[in-house]
Amino acid sequence: MHTVEKIGGSSMSRVQDVLNNIWLHKCNNSFYNRIFVVSAYAGVTDLLLEHKKSGDAGVYSCFAEASQADAWRDRLTDVQQHLLKINQSIFQGESLQEANDFIEERIKGADQCMQSLHDLCLYGHFQLDSQLATVREMLASIGEVHSAFNSVLLLKENGINARLVDLTGWHLDAPLSFEEMIKTQFSEVNPAKEIVITTGYTHCKEGLMKTFDRGYSEMTFSKIATVTGAAEAIIHKEFHLSSADPRIVGVDKVITLGMTNFDVADQLSNLGMEAIHPKAARGLRHAGIQLRIKNTFEPDHNGTLISNDYQNPRPCVEIIAGRRDVFGIEVFDQDMLGTSEHDINITRLLHHLKLDLVNKEADANSITYFTVGNRKKINRAVRLIEEAYPAAEVAVRNIAMVSAIGSDIKVKGMLAKTVSALTNADISILSLHQTQRQVEMQCIVADKDYENAIKVLHKALIEAEDHGEVIRRSAA
């Protein structure tokens, strides 16, 4: 039986650590029976598309906006130079030349394709907008195949039998369905005799980026695990799944989770701290495949095992997590009393603008949407809401979310402890939510109070409760 394992971009950028701690680290006394889905090196997809957080232009956004005719080509040249520098940091001699030749051929092909498309769309019968999704996927695939090709080359240099499975569809005559693409490309693979490295991006009829945008690599990871019948799915990250961010709370205070369930993983995903994309997790759950989160730099640690049915033997908070890049858009309108029209239309508007809706709250005549996105999109959303509802009062506030999460947080007095701890720390609670499912309690606080709120709640709900051994329980 084999495992399917995903390595994120931050880990991939420390490729020597990945080589020593993962690829050359034997599992069950063997290098093999492992399929690896690798992401682009850190920052590369930002350069190819746009910066995920700041929205700064990349090759794709320059091409799509076309404000300057050749700006996208200049950006593509910059990307090429960046990728060649990465190659130079990994390889020497013939291997360096091979790595450079491979990525230069891909970038040259993308350049020619985009220029031809640009020229074609100068004619009125052809519209660029209809092709932008394809261009976006093609550009994203460059970063993925770059790291995958380099990984195979590096493994071969170290005497390991390795195979590249290129799922990017480069020169493919016609796209296959997502599942059929995986089945076809893996039909001749033998994990027992070779380490298999594959791209995080899969070219398919469905167009992964249309639905999942930059979460495509986890969908590829999940689909490979289910299609090939993996014994276990593993994600390697640059940190453990812990009771809080050690950079905020302190390494000596956080506890590494031994086990949890997919409900907890979903709550983390909603806060932008993805253990795994919820729709990728769905495939694993349905197939009965457990997910393990491991620290790239501690290969002998069992990590955190995530399963369908796990529940802590004693109700407790397992994780204090949150995010601070949140905007609260408050819409007050007397006319919304007794109707759902405002909520339906505004939610649809936020989705159209690709603003992530993290949560919302409502009373008789107001709704507040807690959304994530750059300020430009937030301002546009406000303007469109005001145009749609001229009588409404719309206000925006930059806030932070802090959540207490666990597989079972039915803890008596937890709300009282939370309010008391935050109040004693002089932190105002702007809003408070607890779900009936008893897996999350969410506090809304001012952005400036974010880190202090994390520390305070970790101390009150985890450190003071002395249930570290319950959280730390692990499965080999």
Contact residues for 8 (Cβ-Cβ < 8 A; gap 6+): 39, 235, 236, 237, 238
Closest C-alpha among 129, 184, 189, 130 to residue 164: 189
| Rounded Cα distance, 52 and 40, in Å | 14
| Rounded Cα distance, 86 and 81, in Å | 9
Residue 381, domain member (yes or no): yes
Average pLDDT over residues 268-278: 79
Most confident of 48-62, 126-140, 336-350: 336-350
pLDDT band at 274 (very low <50, low <70, confident <90, very high): low
Residue 467, domain member (yes or no): yes
Q: Are residues 61 and 177 in the same domain?
A: yes
pLDDT band at 393 (very low <50, low <70, confident <90, very high): very high
Q: Which helix (H) or strand (E) holds 233?
A: strand 232-237
| Rounded Cα distance, 133 and 130, in Å | 7
Least confident of 60-64, 366-370, 452-456: 60-64
Of 238, 273, 295, the one marking the end of a domain is 238
Q: What is the reported pLDDT for 238?
A: 86
Of 238, 259, 288, the one marking the end of a domain is 238
- Asked whether residue 281 carries a pLDDT value surpassing 60, the answer given is yes
Q: What is the dihedral of CA 426, 429, 434, 438, to 10 degrees?
A: -20
- Asked whether residue 320 carries a pLDDT value surpassing 60, the answer given is yes
| Rounded Cα distance, 233 and 230, in Å | 7
319-332 and 366-372 as β-strands: parallel, antiparallel, unpaired?
antiparallel
Higher pLDDT, 127 or 322: 322
Query: What phi, psi does 435 have (nearest 5°)?
Result: -85, 150
Tally of CB atoms within 10 A around 251: 8
pLDDT band at 172 (very low <50, low <70, confident <90, very high): confident
Number of domains in the chain: 2
pLDDT band at 285 (very low <50, low <70, confident <90, very high): very high
Q: Are residues 208 and 63 in the same domain?
A: yes
pLDDT per residue as tens digits for the range 179-195: 999 999 999 999 999 99
pLDDT band at 468 (very low <50, low <70, confident <90, very high): low
pLDDT band at 209 (very low <50, low <70, confident <90, very high): confident
Query: What phi, psi does 397 have (nearest 5°)?
Result: -135, 135
pLDDT per residue as tens digits for the range 64-111: 887 666 789 999 999 999 999 999 999 999 999 999 999 999 999 999
Q: Are residues 216 and 111 in the same domain?
A: yes
Q: 438 and 405 in contact (C-beta within 8 Å)? A: no
Residue 285, domain member (yes or no): no
- Asked whether residue 136 carries a pLDDT value surpassing 80, the answer given is yes
Residue carrying the six token digits 């947080």? 409
Q: How far apart are the first and last CA of the chain?
A: 16
- Asked whether residue 476 carries a pLDDT value surpassing 80, the answer given is no
Q: 33 and 65 in contact (C-beta within 8 Å)? A: no
Residue 280, domain member (yes or no): no
**Exposed/middle/buried for 142, CB within 10 Å: 0-12, 13-18, 19+?**
buried
| Rounded Cα distance, 336 and 343, in Å | 9
Look up residue 230 and give its DSSP letter: -
Of 238, 262, 288, the one marking the end of a domain is 238
440-446 and 393-405 as β-strands: parallel, antiparallel, unpaired?
antiparallel
Residue 217, domain member (yes or no): yes
What's the one-letter identity of residue 317? Answer: V
Domain with residue 57: its CATH number is 3.40.1160.10
Q: What is the reported pLDDT for 130?
A: 63
Residue 89, domain member (yes or no): yes
Residue 147, domain member (yes or no): yes
CA 354 vs. chain centroid, Å, equals 15
Query: 371 is in which domain, residue-wise?
Result: 319-472
Q: What is the reported pLDDT for 127?
A: 56
Residue 344: both structure tokens together: 């339906």
- Asked whether residue 214 carries a pLDDT value surpassing 60, the answer given is yes
291-295 and 319-332 as β-strands: parallel, antiparallel, unpaired?
unpaired
- Asked whether residue 239 carries a pLDDT value surpassing 90, the answer given is no
Average pLDDT across the chain, whole number: 90
195-199 and 162-165 as β-strands: parallel, antiparallel, unpaired?
parallel
Look up residue 463 and give its DSSP letter: I
List, as one string, the DSSP characters of 165-196: E--S-TT-SSPPPHHHHHHHHTTT--TTTSEE
Which CA distances in Å does 358 have to 2, 97, 350, 439? 36, 46, 11, 16
Q: What is the reported pLDDT for 174?
A: 84
| Rounded Cα distance, 50 and 61, in Å | 6
Q: Which residues of 448-472 are buried (b: 16+ CB within 10 A; e: fewer)?
A: ebbbbbbbbbbbbbbbebebeebbe
- Asked whether residue 126 carries a pLDDT value surpassing 80, the answer given is no
Q: 432 and 348 in contact (C-beta within 8 Å)? A: no
Average pLDDT over residues 2-31: 93
Q: Are residues 49 and 160 in the same domain?
A: yes
Q: What is the reported pLDDT for 123?
A: 60
pLDDT per residue as tens digits for the range 407-436: 888 888 888 999 999 999 999 999 998 878
Q: What is the reported pLDDT for 208?
A: 82
- Asked whether residue 54 carries a pLDDT value surpassing 80, the answer given is no
| Rounded Cα distance, 399 and 383, in Å | 20
Residue 288, domain member (yes or no): no
Say what the pTM is.
0.86
Residue 100: both structure tokens together: 């450079």
